[in-house]
Structure 1
Amino acid sequence: MKKLSKVQLKQQALVMSVADQIEAEALAEIPGMVQCWFDVEYHLFPGSLLLCFQFEDDSALNAAQPELLKWQKKLSAAMLKKGVILKDMRKHLTFTLLGPDD
């Protein structure tokens, strides 16, 4: 893995802080959510940011699906507060059963 530049380290810290904040809120509000994880290619940031809410099973995932837009808006607002504009908020957050290593 290539070493991150100073700018990329700042981007990583920003994404981590937003992900931690959103994850804490979501774990409290969404039953069946296991964790929040993200994937990003820093040379394509912010367009490549993908935050995933992992659920324990299909029933929890299906029950949470109507809330997806609300959480996409929360992510977009949290990133905007940090000075990062997500052009299409629907591309940057998804609900899944897969973990970060799957």
Structure 2
Amino acid sequence: MKKLSAVQLKQQKAVLTAVEALEQLATAELPGFVQGWFSLEYEAFPASLLVRLQLVSDEAVALAQPQLLLWQKRLSAFMLKRGVILKDMRKHLVFTSQGPED
């Protein structure tokens, strides 16, 4: 794996901070929340950012689905605080029952 540049490290830190803040909220507000994780391609940041909030089961995902827009707005707000504008917030956060290894 190649070493990240200073800009890439700054991008990674911004995303990590935002995802950690989302995880804290999700732990308190989303029943069945397991963990949050993200993937991104630095060359296409922020368009390539995808944050996943993992829930314990498909049933928990179905119950949380009506709140998806609220969580997408929260991610957008957390990223904006770190100087990153997400043009279409709906593309950057999903609920899933699969983990990062799946």
Q: TM-score, normalised by structure 1?
A: 0.96
Ranges in structure 1 where 5+ consecutive residues have no aligned partner: none
What residue in structure 1 maps to residue 3 of structure 2? 3
SS at match of 2:17: helix
* Displacement over 4 Å in runs of 4+: none
Q: Deviations over 1:7-63 (max 9, x none)?
A: 101111111111101110011100001000000111111010000001111111111
Aligned length in residues: 102
1: CA distance between counterparts of 2:42 and 2:76? 18
Alignment of 1:11-22 (within 5 A): 11-22=11-22
**Residue 68 of structure 2 contacts residue 95 of structure 2 at CA under 8 Å; is this kept in 1?**
yes
SS at match of 2:52: strand
Q: TM-score, normalised by structure 2?
A: 0.96
Ranges in structure 2 where 5+ consecutive residues have no aligned partner: none
**What's the % identity of the aligned pairs?**
61
SS at match of 1:38: strand
What residue in structure 2 maps to residue 78 of structure 1? 78
